[in-house]
Structure 1
């Protein structure tokens, strides 16, 4: 009898403990109210983005989800989640937002946590405002079947077309669809525009690539080794149905893998996941590439086969309006966005904020301010304004322009050209004494020698690493790193100086090797000696002769290869990533040159020591060109 009472007590205790865990979990994941803006936030959103200050109210409360499995033309099963607003009339017709991801459209949870599954905030927001939302696992990933030789393949893009057809065939659809997403999903959204599908009325690529070679895989022709390897490893683990290394233990304990789609048996799900084993190895392919037109092995294609910029003609023919989002600290994606804006002739609106990948962080490294507006709710309402116009015929047409944040306390600004009107290049001559002077003729002629330090790096929280997990971008005070680099510095600025555009470096350099990589850092130094990273430029010397591709940078083609002759001075024109920043009066402008970034990029050359000679002064001496915008 005593044992029975003990058993019942233990059972009761376990039940209470489980109930407590469930209540705690519910409190942690329960959906917050659908965001609404205060009058002050509405005014703030309008001041930043333009348009009317009034924010539309929510039309619905709650969303219902179904998870059908769609069978593609080749029999591959694609897992989809569909959310519809609760309480919609049976005859109501809704526009649809489509997001295609390779990072699991939704996670599966163990019981009883599966009972607490809630739609993401973005889904709740848009369904509340009268949209259907569809999220899909692209083939070879998540709960979908099939395999993928490489990202955004023609087969994957045709799957998007079939999902668009499925959407418009439904009685809840008004026949209008927009694609959107961050990172991989943003590029998938952009590729949808090239399909020319009449149902697609708007596209919103956010924090995503335009030229896959120069924006992410090989900036300046140097392999982005840490990103490609880590991204490939994480994707391989995800495609096997598990969470990547480094995921907290408590999350591993409750996540079963990608959420199953409805109508699929466990055996079918296992068969679909088995097909993922044939997925391509992105890192192995990258190791076989030096030039843009190299055929990657074993994929059998060049990188432009999955680069949006190579599909410009198809995208322009479709003429779908774009609203692009980017961050100054998100790898080279602000550069990607500006290249797209300049070269893609469709209606375009672009915003570039003081953000990392996905806008999880807003920071001004000059003023040290954090969390600047707009907040997430204000950004959601700005996206809603764009979709409402093109999918519901509501509200004024969004203006085609660039909205950008100027660091150093400059705030939000608008322009329709980049660099902004009135911007002009000013030249700083590099001197043998390490000084940079505004009159290049005054730069001291001669040369400086630098033994490349291959152990130096840009740190574990650099602009490239944020693209793996949306981590904060944080460059510690660069003074200690710069002590190991070749540094040139200006005198204190007499007045606050705005740099908005693409800085560039004309470097006259001789190397002791046939190849080398230049990692150039543009920095600002406070009167107290604090060194702030502003921008960086990368160029592999082998690619220095590549011709321009008409607004998208160097071609990086094999025919343009130009090995260095050891000891012979050669000109390297290094283009920095774009920026907009006000450097305060009394601060100095610094140029720091490295021959390696051990934290991020492949070593060039792979082995051996390298010594540089940088030539200064005179008509051919090294110079830094800064795009200066009048205050």
Structure 2
């Protein structure tokens, strides 16, 4: 167990002397269209500090969203709710001397154009046109910063691939990095419910009306009802005929495509998403590695252990990109507002709070402008339970050791390797099992993370539990599953939940992972980027249906975590083959029965990353 001093390990510098007194108070707003190279008009709101001197020039922060750059509220809500998408972000950035340009990406909000799929080449090139426009404004000092969370984080990161000389730094928060594995097909499993909700929300947002918020009703009914009363539409560009322009763009947006539309044509990593041969791999961030590294733009990246796959994305970016990087992996939800930890309520506020988080980002931008960014990469991660930050310069942590814990008879999880020649457990897949609608995937829809009713859900699963730990252990890294199983069906899904049971016998969820069984082949090909976990290609040529009476080896990684389990806690893995509120059903018909082997020959086990 570590006992670091807070000062060298604590990542945040929001108390820096330079941030004590903001230079400005308040901001002005201007709405306009910026015309792209092909004539498409992009809606933009420009926020500048109030009382900016006539000849004063300041740096600019560019944000590119598909969720409306700003809102038009109904009376009386417009009298007391500010219209920017994120008013606190705009306020903090402007009082510290930055202009903010927040735009609706091509084919969304009040912008013209269409979208064949998210993050198209045209959408990326729009960023160049926007930056060129910014640096030619009278108030611009020629320096541009990039900022974004989630979708906006992706647009910020992809914009670095343009290698535009005006870009001096990028803050990239909670975004996917490998779109196939981190969003659409995690473990080769179609992320059906999230993509349905995300697509239906996007489709309605693109029609510009406030009724789009009703698409949130299935998973956030209270917010949907209140927001419907308040929100009239996306904010129109004031220099235009407001009603006509929104009607025009809504009509054009009807030609858009949405992620859920691709399920019929995409299953594998190498499946094409258009008639031009584009694949999900082609639009993923890692495919731009050479250009992003060439830019040498400093990055400040954030992820969280239980926020979808953003911790994994943060780690992969850290080990694959040579850019100067400060990386953070926290115990927060997707919006950085609340904790996402088994040791805290989902309502507990994130620490530090939003204002201090934003001041921290200002400090990074200022350091970029002053060329004070360290070329050495550093990653800070938060250990849940210990409630401490750790600082490392490489991943995995240098003191990590993978320790095997074996499945044994009587549903025991033990360090003792099975010695009997026979031993197995059978399990009929329960398609009613679920992690609910507050899991790591639903937080992408701006929801808190809360894994309820694990005692009830574990009764639907095949579980193996350890004896109470004899001493406290820190687990940091990717747990690795090594199973040997038989199945009555060629295809299926294996999902593994890693949990602990506290001194009061309450079950707490730590992390999970899943693999579609036809993707179990460990590929001998070179992976598309540096990986530290078992490599499955997820390509059509590598599918491997399970044969009758075959003992199939299943090896894959769970999502990374960092947690301190105290002496007396018990560890548990809960194994299933479905998550009805998240994933597509595999197989589409029939109910598989699996036989999980745990014997001398087939020693199914879990490798746990222990910090020594």
**Match for residue 581 of structure 2 among 582, 599, 619:** 599
**Which residue number in structure 1 is paired with residue 207 of structure 2?**
240
Deviates further, 531-540 or 407-416: 407-416
What whole-Å deviation, never above 9, does each CA across 1:60-104 have from its counterpart, x for those lacking one?
Answer: 111111111111122211100001111222222111100000000
**Which residue number in structure 1 is paired with residue 158 of structure 2?**
191
- Contact 2:480–2:558, Cα closer than 8 Å, also in 1: yes
**Which residue number in structure 2 is paired with residue 377 of structure 1?**
355
**Match for residue 136 of structure 1 among 84, 103, 112:** 103
Q: C-alpha displacement at 1:416, in angstroms? A: 1.3
**Match for residue 583 of structure 1 among 517, 541, 565:** 565
**Which residue number in structure 1 is paired with residue 186 of structure 2?**
219
- Contact 2:337–2:353, Cα closer than 8 Å, also in 1: no
Cα 1:443–1:159 change in 2 (3 A) is: farther
Counterpart CA distance in 2 for 1:174 and 1:122 is 21
**Which residue number in structure 2 is paired with residue 202 of structure 1?**
169
- State the secondary structure of the residue aligned to 2:181: helix
**Match for residue 86 of structure 1 among 36, 50, 73:** 50
- Contact 2:408–2:418, Cα closer than 8 Å, also in 1: no
Cα 1:272–1:349 change in 2 (3 A) is: same
Counterpart CA distance in 2 for 1:540 and 1:554 is 11
- Contact 2:324–2:373, Cα closer than 8 Å, also in 1: no
- Asked if 1:305 is matched to 2:287, the reply is no
What whole-Å deviation, never above 9, does each CA across 1:171-212 have from its counterpart, x for those lacking one?
Answer: 211111111111111100001001111111111111101000
- State the secondary structure of the residue aligned to 1:357: coil
- Contact 1:520–1:537, Cα closer than 8 Å, also in 2: yes
**Match for residue 449 of structure 1 among 414, 421, 426:** 426
**Which residue number in structure 2 is paired with residue 495 of structure 1?**
471
Cα 1:540–1:249 change in 2 (3 A) is: closer
**Which residue number in structure 2 is paired with residue 98 of structure 1?**
62
1:291-440 aligned within 5 A: 291-296=268-273, 301-366=278-343, 370-371=348-349, 373-391=351-369, 393=370, 397=374, 400-440=377-417
Deviates further, 112-121 or 566-575: 112-121
Counterpart CA distance in 2 for 1:297 and 1:457 is 33
Q: C-alpha displacement at 1:580, in angstroms? A: 0.2
1:101-120 aligned within 5 A: 101-111=65-75, 113-114=77-78, 116=80, 118=82, 119=84, 120=87
Counterpart CA distance in 1 for 2:61 and 2:335 is 18
**Which residue number in structure 1 is paired with residue 608 of structure 2?**
626
Counterpart CA distance in 1 for 2:189 and 2:389 is 33
- Contact 1:432–1:443, Cα closer than 8 Å, also in 2: no
**Which residue number in structure 2 is paired with residue 568 of structure 1?**
550
Cα 1:593–1:443 change in 2 (3 A) is: farther
- Contact 1:291–1:556, Cα closer than 8 Å, also in 2: yes
TM-score by length of 1: 0.89
What whole-Å deviation, never above 9, does each CA across 1:465-520 have from its counterpart, x for those lacking one?
Answer: 1111x111111241221111111111110000110000001010111101111000
- State the secondary structure of the residue aligned to 1:433: helix
What whole-Å deviation, never above 9, does each CA across 1:389-444 have from its counterpart, x for those lacking one?
Answer: 113x1766486311111011332121112222211010011113211211325588
Cα 1:441–1:546 change in 2 (3 A) is: closer
What whole-Å deviation, never above 9, does each CA across 1:299-334 have from its counterpart, x for those lacking one?
Answer: 863112321111111111111111111111111111
- State the secondary structure of the residue aligned to 1:146: coil
Q: C-alpha displacement at 1:216, in angstroms? A: 1.1
Cα 1:564–1:321 change in 2 (3 A) is: same
1:478-493 aligned within 5 A: 478-493=454-469
- Contact 1:240–1:273, Cα closer than 8 Å, also in 2: yes
- State the secondary structure of the residue aligned to 2:292: helix
- Contact 1:223–1:601, Cα closer than 8 Å, also in 2: yes
- Contact 2:12–2:360, Cα closer than 8 Å, also in 1: no
Deviates further, 430-439 or 621-630: 430-439
- Asked if 1:467 is matched to 2:467, the reply is no
- State the secondary structure of the residue aligned to 2:495: strand
Counterpart CA distance in 2 for 1:198 and 1:421 is 36
- Contact 1:500–1:578, Cα closer than 8 Å, also in 2: yes
**Which residue number in structure 2 is paired with residue 511 of structure 1?**
487
Q: C-alpha displacement at 1:286, in angstroms? A: 2.5
Q: C-alpha displacement at 1:112, in angstroms? A: 5.7
Listed as ranges, the gaps of 5+ residues in structure 1 are 1-42
Counterpart CA distance in 2 for 1:194 and 1:620 is 47
Q: C-alpha displacement at 1:289, in angstroms? A: 1.3
Counterpart CA distance in 2 for 1:394 and 1:302 is 38
Cα 1:482–1:113 change in 2 (3 A) is: closer
Counterpart CA distance in 2 for 1:378 and 1:443 is 57
Deviates further, 238-247 or 510-519: 238-247
Deviates further, 312-321 or 497-506: 312-321
TM-score by length of 2: 0.92
- Asked if 1:230 is matched to 2:212, the reply is no
- Contact 1:79–1:143, Cα closer than 8 Å, also in 2: yes
1:517-536 aligned within 5 A: 517-536=493-512
**Which residue number in structure 1 is paired with residue 139 of structure 2?**
172
Listed as ranges, the gaps of 5+ residues in structure 2 are 218-222
What whole-Å deviation, never above 9, does each CA across 1:328-371 have from its counterpart, x for those lacking one?
Answer: 11111111111111112211111111111121211431366933
Q: C-alpha displacement at 1:459, in angstroms? A: 1.3
Larger Rg: 1
- State the secondary structure of the residue aligned to 2:594: strand
Deviates further, 90-99 or 365-374: 365-374
1:16-55 aligned within 5 A: 48-49=10-11, 53-55=16-18
Counterpart CA distance in 2 for 1:611 and 1:133 is 56
- State the secondary structure of the residue aligned to 1:244: helix
Cα 1:398–1:533 change in 2 (3 A) is: farther
Counterpart CA distance in 2 for 1:146 and 1:44 is 50
**Which residue number in structure 2 is paired with residue 557 of structure 1?**
539
Deviates further, 124-133 or 310-319: 310-319
Q: C-alpha displacement at 1:239, in angstroms? A: 0.6
- Contact 1:350–1:401, Cα closer than 8 Å, also in 2: yes
Deviates further, 598-607 or 369-378: 369-378
Cα 1:115–1:622 change in 2 (3 A) is: same
1:603-622 aligned within 5 A: 603-622=585-604
